[in-house]
Amino acid sequence: MCLYLNPTYHRLDEEEKPFEAKKNILVYKLLAYDGIGHKTPVRNYPIQFENNKCECITKLGKPRCLLFGSVLYLEVSKGFHARIEEYTKVLSSSYYAIIPKGSHFYIGDDNDIVSDKLIIYKEEPWWFLFKKPISVQNYIEKYIQK
């Protein structure tokens, strides 16, 4: 799975650096369930929940340029991909997830996001009732758009 950087928030430059999360950010992770366990729908990476959550950490990939016809795109393929809004596909479901404070992330041009850290929740955590994490749109308005 690849994420194409959104030029509204990122320069089309292979040296473009990811954002660093100043707060926990609410996103949605698509997972498939095959009757045995949960897994990512594209790469079939197994997700094992312990106490209602799964903490995922990886190295975030660097952007690379792609040219389709006369259009230049910047792509990031390595990292944990998530959706900015809830989304449902056949055989997949949206799960609550958080990009934790201090994580690095890029914003995509298809309502998606990729980060080096992601905490996925099997069910909505009870503490969301009292302190729900900031949405991506509110985060962009508060910390990214000037």
Averaged confidence pLDDT in the chain: 87
What does each of the 146 residues of the chain score in pLDDT, given as a tens digit? 688 888 888 887 878 899 999 999 999 998 988 888 899 887 888 999 999 999 999 999 888 888 888 888 888 989 999 999 877 655 568 899 999 999 999 999 888 999 999 999 988 777 777 788 888 989 998 988 74
Instruction: Delimit the domains of the chain by residue range.
Output: 3-144
User: What is this structure's pTM?
Assistant: 0.88
Q: What is the pLDDT of residue 89?
A: 59
- Cα gap 99→54, rounded to integer Å: 12
C-alpha angle 90-95-8 in degrees, rounded to nearest 5: 90
pLDDT of residue 97: 94
